[in-house]
Structure 1
Amino acid sequence: MASSPLLLSSALSRNPNSGLSIRRRRHGALATTASSEEDHSTKLVTFLGKGGSGKTTSAIFAAQMLLEPLHLLKKADAELNITQGVLEGVVGEELGVLPGMDSVFTLLALERLVGFLGNLGRRNLRKDKYDIIIYDGINTEETLRMIGVTSRARLYLKYLRNMAERTDIGRLAGPSLLRLVDEAMSLSTRGSNLNGKMSSEIWDILERALERGSSAFGEPREFGCYLVVDPNNPASVSSALRYWGCAIQAGAQVSGAFGTASPHSDVESEEIVKNFSPLPFALCPHVPMGSLPDWNAIISSNPSEDARNLLSAPASSSSNVMEPVKFDPSKKSVSLLMPGFDKSEIKLYQYRGGSELLVEAGDQRRVIRLPPEIQGKVGGAKFADRKLVITMR
């Protein structure tokens, strides 16, 4: 049985009255209070990897490195209130969690700390500001579904709005649907700001909020996503490459990859670095099990230097990573970065008269909107160098 992940909250040295709280729940996050009173975006950091590859260890390493010195550790179940109060006023026995809804509620909980949805969730934000939140999900598949929630919700919203505005039944049911959305936002964000607005305004607000949420996962300044791999385990390497492709499908940009060092070697192999090129790669130091780790010694050791540099790298350094989508009007083609997949695993669909491509792979679907000069019918597709190159005609 998998152990429950951790929720951590830590104070910086400038605020000795704040503390580090830890509790066990179905998902975990680490939050650090902001070092400035100015309003600025909070960065969310998470790790993707096969179970047993060191994903949670890497998250703790990042927390120790980013949040030292740690002053206080205490029980604080109500500190961030991530799993309580989301549905206040609803009798718990009345409702169960629908299949696949776990990731939605996880995202809503993180929204209370990060503010993915902008003005829509502003009333729900705590007065505390955070620089970084490190999230260690229950498993990588669930984290990927959480990342892709806003992108998928945008598609549903788009079609619901079309139906509500262009059909008789939609115009009849639309106001009731929007009232339901308003009530849901009131429950999940403790006070929606949709009340009293016209239907068209509410649709626009929801659309902008979801667009803001989906774009945040593709912005390295707001979201740091790292792969974790056991270099000595081929299955772990294969899974990490696939998670790279799945993260791209979900709308995220991967910032780098970490390998977990073995007890007898802390030297990265050229082959493993090549496997994840052009992503920056670093080894996390080996953390012995069975005893309380000396994190001060681990963080300050030479083998930790590359990992520290990767975690501390500015977001601008991510510009060297290959673009997930690249259009070539001269060849009337589009290249999709799809690491971890082969051609047989990828399904292509075409809609809207050739203006959009729907790419399905790795339990994720992604809509590619084609520029006018490339639009047309698919003429062919080939897979090379981790890229699916689609030629239009």
Structure 2
Amino acid sequence: MSSLAQPLVDREDLREQVDTRLRAVLAEQRTVLAGISGDADPLADAWSQMLRGGKRLRAAFAYWSWRAHGGAPGGAEAASIVGVGAALELFQAAALFHDDVMDRSDTRRGVPTAHRTFAARHRDAGWSGDADQFGLSAAILLGDLSLVASEDEFLRAVRDVPAAAVAPARSLFTQMRTEVTVGQYLDMHAQMLPWTDDFDADERRAREVVRSKSARYSVESPIAIGAALAGADAEQLATCSAFGLPLGEAFQLRDDLLGAFGDPEATGKPAGDDLREGKRTLLVVRAMRALGPVERAELASRLGAPDLTASDVEKMQRTIRETGAVDEVEQLIETLSGSALATLESSGLSGPAVETLGDLARAAVQRAA
């Protein structure tokens, strides 16, 4: 995240409050796992590693939307929204465990992914069986544990919130998790399809993945959940979506640019990671549309190839830049984020909390990691 966003997430001690709640959840889970078997300790260690990083952006969007819609800092209601923020972070951890398995990623935030860590543990110990399969299975189970914990934490957080506010928030939380799961499938499905000259269909699929896999759960849903818990009405929740969805799309499109061109020191992933994984992002679709048949076939043959060298990645990056696709995506980010901010400005909301929400929106699309 950009340097601008870090102090924004720290305002009203939000990051520390969310982190404190996450540490409490992990301590509880360590006790539960230890009570089942001492052999489960590595699961708690890997879970802690995943939760240790992260921007806390989802928690921040939920909290500052809650504040913008009338929530007051301090007290039991504020503790509830902090708990919901922790639930959102637990859900993100679950999604990342599973995403790393499906993408066969080697690193996450600069350290080995969970499935690679458990595969290495298997090899180092000289255990029988397939080390890689053991690692994949352990990571899937870690994702399941974090998914269950996200539900438990959400229910704990809202137990004293009026039922009229909990009902829409719970519905949004449930829908968000379904959308991400389907979005993961759509992402995987798109990568399996052969390239054709139907770029309109490719672009439609890429935008569907952006919205369902990331835009809604990263931005739109946290904003709407926070507003719902503050007692927002149907019209206000519709405004939250009109603000949050285009902002979430812009957020993910920035992520796509970083996945192709980001600095590994900042992103914690190899250079051109999305190109190595063969992601069918809007960036790649726009590049393929602009290329001639020969260049298109060459780029398609390299996307996701298991033996890509650093030189291959650099050539792909250069090809994509030369098509103008990067500039097109940057322009779309500007258009989407501009639309989102215009909606916020015309929402009728005002005050310092709304200003912080707007600042978070800008930081989300101006980040370098």
TM-score, length basis structure 1: 0.27
Larger Rg: 1
Higher share of residues assigned strand: 1
Higher share of residues assigned helix: 2
TM-score, length basis structure 2: 0.29
